[in-house]
Structure 1
Amino acid sequence: MLDALAHSLRAHPDRPAVLGTTRAGAVRVKTTRGDLAGLADRYAAALHARGIARGGTVGVAVRPGPRALAVMLAVHRLGARVAVLDPGAGPDVLRARLALARPDVVLADATAQAVAGWARPLAHRARLALPDLAELGPVATVGPRTPGCAASLDTGARAGTLPRPVDEDGDAVIVFTSGTTARPRAVVHTRSSLAAGMTAVTGLVGPTAGRPVLGGTFFVLVPSLASGAPVALPARSPRVLARQMSRLRPQATYLTPPQLRSALAAGARFTGRAWTGSAPASADLLTRVKQAGAEEAWGVYALTELFPAAAVEQADKAAFTGRGDLVGAPLPGVTAKTDASGELLLCGPAVRDRCLGEEPDPWVATGDRAHLDGGRIVLEGRCKDMVLRKAENIYPGLYEPALHVPGVELALLVGVPAGDGDERLVAVVQPRPDTDRESLRASLAGPLERMGSARPDAVLLADVPLSGRSRKPDRGATARLAAARLTDGDRG
């Protein structure tokens, strides 16, 4: 897919690749396809001049957009691999991840260096946020350089110095997931698994040439651009995003559930098909997206280890009446099964090769409990989220979908220590801003009654804490919130 993209960019160099948006919502061409191809060539020449070749590792801390994509194309051409770095992870976590990946060079934009605290150590040769830079590899700035940043990547090397593109399989990207500071966990995708994942996205979304796509993830950018569709990065402000969608009228929109909720609250109208993932999406949220104009609204079940794995359209999700969260049928090539404990296992051509420092494994243990319903995957909750109450194992994911009645934005079931070794089960329900709370409690009565022995001990109406780049519901923080509210005498 990356090879196809590199070729297609040169075939139509004057066509738009990445679209920008003003605060008023006006659409402008930010980067043409020729601009993107030229930038990728300059990065490849500069990295080649620094000795980056097949088997090398390039750390990347660059905001999503044309530069990040050009870096990925450049590294791919050289046969090296990208280690994706999150500058906001904190110095200790970043130190551990860099020590594991051992990049030959780190490419970072000025914003990433400021967030990570790299600027001061580089300027003053102090060890404030990172260990010895010589030990971990040099840092180079891509994009505009501000005072205190590392020296800019020298892109003055002539394109003629570029080697022939590497056309062999090998490691393509390292993505860090969970794991402690002492033992970070890094998922390794090969060029073939990455290509399989992007091919699956292309088959799922089916972008057509010339019509814009709205989305900011790598798995949206590459298939869309390879298909000839320009891509617009979503505005951060919900109001600007709503205006952007009105002006752009995209054929497809990919936003995370928090972005969808914010856009809907700002009055956004959808066109074409809408997709969401990275965090749970309720049937009610997908329904609201369709009511706001989308022809179809899809929830995508994906993991860092396998993107995408399954997908479900709003109509099928809303019609599902069983317990658990229907996330759809496995996509072509994906095989799903459960082990003896009920954990979902997945395999397929887009599965990661291995975790860094471990042996390859064709199966991904998802950490999700699940069952198969007519071949469709139904999640029952995270294995680690089980609540033990009165010697009964309660899996929140089985019951949380039922709490998403009209007027509910988010809902979690969490365990709160009861002081006697047992746990209390608490439902924390976040109402939509325009919802009458008494009416909402009345609407919840039926679903709560149908929970049987899993009925919560208390129902609290409160905002559910979010965390991480994807703004996922934070169960730990939600449990602490519930414990504090109950201690203060709030019985829901």
Structure 2
Amino acid sequence: MLDILAHTLRRHPDRPAVLGTTPTGTVRTKATYGDLADLTDRCTGALHARGVGCGGTVGVAVRPGPRALAVLLALHRLGARAAVLDPGAGPDVLRARLALARPDLVLADATAQAVAGWARPLARRARLALPDLTELGPVATVGPRMPGCAPALDTDGRGARPPRPVDGDGDAVVVFTSGTTSRPRAVVHTRSSIAAGMATVADLVRPEAGRPVLGGTFFVLVPSLASGAPVALPARSTRVLVRQLRRLAPQATYLTPPQLRRLLAEGSRFNGRVWTGSAPATAELLTRVKRAGADEAWGVYALTELFPAAAVEQADKAAFTGDGDLAGAPLPGVTARTDASGELLLSGPAARDRYLGEDPDPWVATGDRARLDGGRIVLEGRCKDMVLRHAENIYPGLYEPALHLPGVELAVLVGVSAQDGDERLVAVVQPAPGADRAALRAALAGPLERMGSARPDAVLLADVPLSGRSLKPDRAAAARLAARSLAAGRPSQRSRA
């Protein structure tokens, strides 16, 4: 895939590659195919001159865009691996991650370095935090250099002539996922697993040359550009994103469920095919996207360890009447099974090689309870989300889909301590904008009754707290919200005595 992209960049230098959008919604070309090819060449030469080569590790803290893509392509050409650093993780977490990855060099743009001294107020507003630059080891600035930043990466073309592209397998990228400052955890993908994942995306989406795609991840950029489709990075502002969708009319749109919900609340229209993942995508949400004009609306089940694993279109998801959340059939090459505890295990060419500092393992333990129904994956909740009530194990994922009725934007089931070793089960239901709450409570009566012994002790109509870059439901925060509600003794929210 990356070889195809390199060839395509050379063949069509004047073709728009990365599109930007002004606050008024005007679409402009941020980089052509030729610009990307030239920037990649210059980054490759500059990194080679700095001693980066096959088997080396480079930390990357560069915002998504042409420069970040050029850096990653240059590292791939050199056979080095990229350790992706999140400036928003905080200095303590970053120190721990850097100690584990031990990069030979850190590449950071000016925004990521802001907290180091030259613009601390800006950094605080952007929720960015890096340790002092002196703690990071060798650092180079990618892009415009501001006062106080590390020396710029020399990409003016005077660097040493880069060697021939590395041809073979090896570590490609390190992505930190979880863990603590004392024991960070990072996923290691190889060149072959990254290539397999991008090939799966290309086969699933089939982007057409010349028609724009809206999305910002590496797995969106590379397959789209290799197919000749320009890519627009999604605007952070919802109002600008609405204008962006209208002006671009993209053939394919990749957005998270929270982004889709905000767009729908603004009355946005869609076209082409819409893809969403990183957080739960209900049948109701996908249905609303199709009603807003999309030809197809897909939920993608993917993990950092294996991207993508399964996909399901709205029509199939809406037609599913069984317990649990239908994630779809495993994509070609993906093998799925469950262990004795019901946890879903996945394997395939796109699966990560290992966790950094651990031995390789062909099976990815997802942390999700699931069952296989006619070859399709049906999720039954997170293994650690189990609620124990009256000596009965209750798995929220089995029942949450039934709560996603028209007028419900998001719903989770959480356990709240009853102070006697038991737990109380609370449904936190987020109404859609403009929904009639009394009518919604009446509509929920049927699904709640059908839950049988898993029926919640209380129903709380409130916004579901979100967390993380993907804005997934924060169950711990939702449980605290539910606990405060129960402590306040609001009788109107009780589901049963």
Q: Is the 8 A contact 1:102 1:137 kept in 2?
A: no
Determine if the alignment matches structure 1 residue 262 to structure 2 residue 262. yes
- 2:131 is aligned to 130
Whether 1:377 and 2:377 are equivalent positions in the alignment is: yes
Residue type matched to 2:322 in 1?
G
Deviation by residue 1:422-444 (Cα, 9 ceiling, x = unmatched):
10000000001110100000110
TM superposition shift of 1:156? 2.4
Paired residues of 1:49 and 1:157 also in contact (CA < 8 A): no
Letter matched to residue 451 of structure 2: M
> Which digits, 9 at most, give the CA deviation of each residue in 1:176-220, with x for residues without a partner?
001111100000000000000000000000001000000011110
Q: Aligned partners of 1:138, 1:267: CA distance in 2, in Å?
A: 48
> Displacement of 1:121 after TM fit?
12
The equivalent of 1:13 in structure 2 is: 13
Q: Distance in 2 between matches of 1:94 and 1:440?
A: 44
* 2: CA distance, partners of 1:430 / 1:462: 5
Task: Decide which moves more: 450-459 or 140-149.
Answer: 140-149
Query: Structure 1 residue 33: deviation in Å?
Result: 0.5
Q: How does 1:87-166 map to 2 (within 5 A)?
A: 87-114=87-114, 117-119=115-117, 130=131, 133=134, 136-158=136-158, 161-166=161-166
Q: Contact 1:95/1:131 (CA < 8 Å) preserved in 2?
A: no
Q: Which aligned pairs between 1:20-419 and structure 2 lie closer than 5 A? A: 20-114=20-114, 117-119=115-117, 130=131, 133=134, 136-158=136-158, 161-419=161-419
- Give me the whole-angstrom Cα distance separating, in 1, the residues matched to 2:152 and 2:490: 56
CA distance in 2, matches of 1:102, 1:132: 15
Q: Residue type of the partner of 2:291? A: Q
* Distance in 2 of aligned mates of 1:166 and 1:270: 41
- The offset of 1:342, in angstroms, is 0.2
User: Once structures 1 and 2 are overlaid, which stretch shifts more, 481-490 or 242-251?
Assistant: 481-490
Q: Which residue of 2 aligns with 1:480?
A: 480
Secondary structure at the aligned position of 2:113 is classed as helix
Residue identity in the other structure for 2:261: R
Task: State the 1:119 CA deviation.
Answer: 4.0
Could you tell me how far apart the structure 1 residues matched to 2:117 and 2:207 are?
40
* Partner SS state of residue 264, structure 1: helix
Q: What is the identity, as a one-letter code, of the residue corresponding to 1:162?
A: P
Aligned amino acid, residue 84 of structure 2: V
Q: Percent identity?
A: 80
After TM superposition, give the deviation of residue 137 of structure 1 in Å: 2.7
Higher deviation after alignment, 480-489 or 328-337: 480-489
8 Å contact kept, 1:174–1:189: yes
Shift of 1:145: 1.6
Quote the Cα distance in structure 2 between the aligned partners of 1:80 and 1:121: 31
Shift of 1:118: 3.2
SS at 1:399 equivalent: helix
Secondary structure of the residue that 1:72 maps to in structure 2?
helix
Q: Distance in 1 between matches of 2:224 and 2:132?
A: 39
The answer on whether the counterparts of 1:413 and 1:428 sit within 8 Å (CA) in structure 2 is yes
Contact 2:116 2:133 in 1 (8 A): no
Q: Distance in 2 between matches of 1:160 and 1:147?
A: 27
- 2:144 alignment partner, SS class: coil
Q: Could you say what the CA RMSD is over the residues aligned between the two structures, in angstroms?
A: 1.5
Alignment of 1:422-433 (within 5 A): 422-433=422-433
Residue 232 of structure 1 deviates from its aligned partner by 0.3
Do the aligned residues in 2 keep the contact of 1:249 with 1:270 (CA within 8 Å)? yes
Segment of structure 1 superposing worse, 137-146 or 395-404: 137-146
Give deviations 1:264-295, integer Å, cap 9, x for gaps. 11111111100000000000000000001100
TM-score, length of structure 2 as denominator length: 0.95
For 1:340, what is the secondary structure of its paired residue? coil
Q: What letter corresponds to residue 308 of structure 1 in structure 2? A: P
CA distance in 2, matches of 1:351, 1:391: 37
Q: Distance in 2 between matches of 1:142 and 1:131?
A: 17
CA distance in 2, matches of 1:389, 1:98: 42
CA contact (8 A) 1:121 1:129 kept: no
The structure-2 alpha-carbon separation of the partners of 1:10 and 1:132, relative to structure 1 and needing over 3 Å to count, comes to closer
| AA in 2 matched with 1:118 | A
1:463 and 2:452 are equivalent in the alignment: no
Distance of 2:475 and 2:146 partners within structure 1: 39
SS at structure 2 position matched to 1:13:
coil
Query: Quick one: distance in 1 between partners of 2:186 and 2:156?
Result: 33
Q: Which amino acid aligns with 1:332?
A: P
Equivalent pair of 1:269/1:293 in contact (CA under 8 Å)? yes
Counterpart for residue 125 of structure 1: none
Which structure 1 segments of 5+ residues have no match? Answer: 123-127
